[in-house]
Structure 1
Amino acid sequence: MTNASSRAVSAATGFWIVAVVFLTAMAYSTIPTPLYTLYQQRDGFAVWVITMIFAAYAVGVVLSLFFAGHLSDVFGRRRMLVIAVLVSAASAVMFLVWNDVAGLLAARLVNGVSIGILTATATAHVSELRARSKPDEDPIIAASVAGAANLGGLALGPLIGGFFVEFLPDPLVLPHAVFLVLLLAAGAALLVVPETVMRPVPRPRYHPQRLAFPPGSRPSFVAAGLGAFASFALFGLFTSLAPTFLVDAFHAPSHLLAGATPFAVFASAAIAQVVLARVALRRQLAIAVLSCAVGLIAIAVGAVLPSLALFLVGGIIGGVGVGILFRSAIATAAGLAAPGKRGETLALIFLIAYCGLALPVIAVGVSLLFFGETAVLLVFTALVLVATVSAGTVMRRRA
C-alpha cells in the first residue's frame, strides 16, 4: 500500500471529490470561449482562426484519448487523474506566458490532452467508487453524476469566463490564474481518493487505444458511438462559432452573453441527464429525438430571421436532446465493457465523441474561408439535425 492509499478517504467521499475535480477541470476547458473575441480584437485575426484554435483543443483530446485515455486500466485511476489535472494546470501557465495565436493554439492543444486523459478515467472512477459505496444502486445514477459533472463543467466554463470579462480586471490573465490555483488544489485533493483498479502484474506492454468494439456488442456500441458523435457536434457549434455569431449576426457584443449562450446549452444537457435519470430509457430517447429536431430547427430559423431569443431557446431545447443522447451513449458503453476494460471502452466512446467535436468544427473553419457565417451555420445545423435524430432513433430501437 502506498502512503496515499493509507490516507484514503471513504469511497463515498472519494466519489464526490472526483466528481468536483471532474467538473472543475472541464470548466477550465471552456473558460476561453468568451475570451476568443478579445484575443481576436487584440490581434486582428479572422473568424476562421477562432475555429482553428478551438479545433486544436479537440485534436488534443482525440490524440490523448487514442494514446493515453485507456491507461488508467493499467496504471490506476487516481494516478492518471492527477496527471490529467497537472497537464491542465500546465496549459493555464501557457495561457499566462504565451498568448499570441501560436501560443493559443499550443495551450488549447495541451488543454485538450488533459481532457482526453480525464474524461474516460474520471467517468470510470466515479462509477467504480459509487458501486463500492452503494453496491445495490442502479448504475445509471453514477452515470448521471459523471455526465452532469462533465457537461456541467463545460457549461460553467463559458459563464465564468464571461463574468471575468464583464466585471473583473485583466480578463485575459485573471481567469487562467484563478483556475491554475484551483487545478493545483484539485490535484492535491485527488491524492486521498481511493484507488479502484488493481494494477495488473506483470504490467502489459503499452499499446494505443484499440479501435475495437466490446466482444459481441457491435450493433449496440455503434449506436452509442453515433449518439456520442452527434451530441458533441452540437456542443462544438456553441463553443466555437456561436459567440462570434452573436456579435456579427445579432449585434450582441456582450461577453457575458457570449458565455451564457453555451452555458445554457450545456446546462440544459446536464440538468436533463439528472432530472430524467429514472425515466425509462426508450422514453428518454423519444424525448431526445423530439428535442433535437425542435431545437435545431429553432436555431436555424433564429439565425435566418434573425431572432436572438429563438436562437437561444433552440439551443436550450437541443441541449436537452443531446444531453440525453450523450448520457445514454456513455451508460451503454460502460455496460458493454468487459471486466478490467472499462477505461479502454469508455476511452473509445469519448474518442468517437470528440471526433464529433473536432471534425465538424474544422470543417466549419475551412468553410468560413469561402462562405458567410449564416450559410455555414445553416448547413452545419442541418447536418447535426440529421445526425442527432438518426442516432436517437437507432439507440431507441436497441434500448
Structure 2
Amino acid sequence: MTAVLDRPATATARRGLFLPHGVGFAGISAAMVAVLVAAGAPGPLLPIYQAQWGFAPWVLTLAFGVYAFALLVTIPVVGSLSDYVGRRPLMIGSLALDLVAMVVFLLSPSIGWLIVARVVQGVATAAASSSLSAAVVELAPQRHKKLGAQMTSMAPLAGLGIGALYSGLVAQFAADAAFAVWLVLVVVMALATVFAVFTPETATRKPGALASLVPRVSLPKQVRRLYATTVPGIVGAFMMMTLWMGLVPVVLVSVFHVRGPIVGALVAFVVFAVGAGVSASTSSVRPHLLRLAGMSGMTVGAIVFVGAIGAHAQALVWVSALLTGAGIGSAFAGTTRGLVPEVAPHERAGLFTAIYVVGYLGMGVSAVVAGPVAGVVGAATMASWFGVVTALVTLTGVIATARFNRR
C-alpha cells in the first residue's frame, strides 16, 4: 500500500519564486472551492434568465445538463495529464479557462451564450478537478496529510453550497442579480489564476503527455474491486446534487407554491453545508463505515423527499435535505479516504478522474432526461420518480459495500 503521506522528493520549488507549501495548500484549497462556487452559482439565476428571455422550461435542465456532459467528455482526456506535465500548468490553464467562462456569463445576451458559458465552465472544471485535487493532497502539511484527502471530499460540497446560497441571496435582493454574481466571480477567478502561478509544483514530470490525451479512464488495478463498490454511491451523490440544485427549485414553485429564489438556494445550501460538515467531522471513522452510512442516508433522504411531495409537506423537504446532505458528505468522504491511500502519487489524478467520470455521467444523464419527462408528466411526478430511482441506486451501493466488507 502506498501512503498518501509521500511527496516526491524531486518535486521541489525554487525558494523565492514560489509560495511555501503550506500557503500553497491553503490557496489551492480555496481555489478548488471557488471553482465549485462558480459551478453552483447558475442554479438560482436560471429562473431569472427564463423570465427575461422567455425560453421553454426544459431549457433549464438542458443548461444544467450540458455542464455535466462537458465535464464528462473532458475528464477522460485531460484527467491524467497533470501526472505527466505537472500539477501547476494544468491548474493555471484550467483556472484561466474558468475565468473566460465567468466573463462569458457576465456578458451573455441570450440563453445560447449562457449554454456556451456552461460548456466552457464544464471543460474548465473538468481540467481543474483532478489537478487541484491531487495538488491539495500533495501540498498538505506533512503532519496533517489526512487533511489533504479530507479537503478533496469537503471542498466540492462546500463550494456548491456557498455558490447556491451566494447566488440566491444576490438574486433575492439585487436589482441586476446576474451581473453582480458574475462580476464578483470574475474577480475571484482572476485572483485564483494568479495564485496558481506562484504555487510550487508537487509532481515530477514524465514522458507520455500526448499519449495520455487519448480518452480513457486509468484506474490502478489494486483499487478496482473497491472502486466498483463505491460507484453506486458516487452516482447517487451526483444525482442528488442534480435534484437539489436543478430540480428542487422547480418543485418548490409547482408543488409548494414558493416564490422567490432564496428558499431553493437555502435548501441547496443546507444539503451541501451538512455534507461538508459531516465530511470534516468524521476523519476518525473508518472509510467503509462512512460509505455504508452515507449511502444509507441518501437512500432514506430520497424516500423522505418522495414522501414530502406525496404528502405536500414542505417540512419533510428540509428533513430530506438534512439526511441527503449527511449522506453525500459521508459517502464522498468514505470514497476518497478509502481509495486515495491505496494508490501511488502518480496515480492520484487518474483515480480522481475515474471518480468524477461516473459521477458526472449520472449527473448529466439524469438532468437531461428529467427535463422532457417533467414536460410530459409534470414536475411533481418527475421529481418523485427521480427520488425513487436515486434510492434504488444508493441501496444497491449499500448492499455491494456490505458484501465486499464481509469478504
TM range (shorter): over 0.9
* TM-score of the pair, normalised by structure 1: 0.93
Provide Cα deviations, 1:234-279, integer angstroms capped at 9, x if missing partner: 1111111111211111111121112112111111111111111212
> In the alignment, which of 84, 94, 101 is matched to residue 84 of structure 1?
94
2:26 is matched with 16
CA contact (8 A) 2:304 2:319 kept: yes
Matches within 5 A, 1:328-343: 328-343=334-349
CA contact (8 A) 2:254 2:380 kept: no
Q: 1:202 offset after TM fit, Å?
A: 7.0
Cα distance in 1 for partners of 2:86, 2:214 equals 17
Deviates more, 1:207-216 or 1:95-104: 207-216
The AA in structure 2 aligned to 1:82 is I
Asked if 1:156 is matched to 2:162, the reply is yes
The 1:12–1:395 alpha-carbon spacing in structure 2 relative to 1, beyond 3 Å, is farther
Provide Cα deviations, 1:160-206, integer angstroms capped at 9, x if missing partner: 00111122231121110110011001111112211111111475534
Cα distance in 2 for partners of 1:339, 1:273 equals 23
The AA in structure 1 aligned to 2:268 is P
Matches within 5 A, 1:268-347: 268-347=274-353
The AA in structure 2 aligned to 1:236 is T
Provide Cα deviations, 1:339-380, integer angstroms capped at 9, x if missing partner: 422112211211111111111111112212321111111111
1:367 is matched with 373
Cα distance in 2 for partners of 1:286, 1:331 equals 13
> In the alignment, which of 249, 272, 293 is matched to residue 266 of structure 1?
272
Which ranges of structure 1 fall in alignment gaps of 5 or more residues? Answer: none
1:45 is matched with 55
Asked if 1:129 is matched to 2:139, the reply is yes
The AA in structure 1 aligned to 2:112 is A
CA contact (8 A) 1:289 1:393 kept: no
Deviates more, 1:100-109 or 1:220-229: 220-229
The 1:169–1:393 alpha-carbon spacing in structure 2 relative to 1, beyond 3 Å, is same
* TM-score of the pair, normalised by structure 2: 0.91
> In the alignment, which of 90, 106, 109 is matched to residue 119 of structure 2?
109
The AA in structure 1 aligned to 2:293 is I
Cα distance in 1 for partners of 2:390, 2:258 equals 25
CA contact (8 A) 1:296 1:315 kept: no
1:95 is matched with 105
Q: 1:65 offset after TM fit, Å?
A: 0.6
Cα distance in 1 for partners of 2:151, 2:13 equals 29
The alignment partner of 1:241 has SS state of helix
The 1:95–1:5 alpha-carbon spacing in structure 2 relative to 1, beyond 3 Å, is farther
Which ranges of structure 2 fall in alignment gaps of 5 or more residues? Answer: 1-10
The 1:216–1:319 alpha-carbon spacing in structure 2 relative to 1, beyond 3 Å, is same
Cα distance in 1 for partners of 2:215, 2:352 equals 10
Q: 1:293 offset after TM fit, Å?
A: 2.7
CA contact (8 A) 1:214 1:336 kept: no
2:3 is matched with none
> In the alignment, which of 384, 392, 401 is matched to residue 386 of structure 1?
392
2:8 is matched with none
The 1:384–1:280 alpha-carbon spacing in structure 2 relative to 1, beyond 3 Å, is same
Cα distance in 1 for partners of 2:215, 2:282 equals 32
Deviates more, 1:213-222 or 1:231-240: 213-222
The 1:3–1:386 alpha-carbon spacing in structure 2 relative to 1, beyond 3 Å, is closer
The AA in structure 1 aligned to 2:25 is F
Provide Cα deviations, 1:300-326, integer angstroms capped at 9, x if missing partner: 111122122211220221111122112
CA contact (8 A) 2:96 2:190 kept: yes
1:181 is matched with 187
Provide Cα deviations, 1:108-162, integer angstroms capped at 9, x if missing partner: 11111111111111111111112xx31x5463x3222221111100110010001
The 1:392–1:274 alpha-carbon spacing in structure 2 relative to 1, beyond 3 Å, is farther
> In the alignment, which of 191, 197, 200 is matched to residue 191 of structure 1?
197
Cα distance in 2 for partners of 1:111, 1:59 equals 11
Matches within 5 A, 1:63-82: 63-82=73-92
CA contact (8 A) 1:228 1:353 kept: yes
Asked if 1:224 is matched to 2:230, the reply is yes
The 1:208–1:329 alpha-carbon spacing in structure 2 relative to 1, beyond 3 Å, is farther
The alignment partner of 2:376 has SS state of coil
Provide Cα deviations, 1:63-106, integer angstroms capped at 9, x if missing partner: 12122122111121122111111111111111122241211111
Cα distance in 2 for partners of 1:367, 1:49 equals 13
The 1:361–1:380 alpha-carbon spacing in structure 2 relative to 1, beyond 3 Å, is same
Cα distance in 2 for partners of 1:289, 1:29 equals 24
1:146 is matched with 152
What root-mean-square deviation, in Å, do the aligned CA atoms of Structure 1 and Structure 2 show?
Answer: 2.1
Asked if 1:56 is matched to 2:66, the reply is yes
CA contact (8 A) 2:287 2:333 kept: no
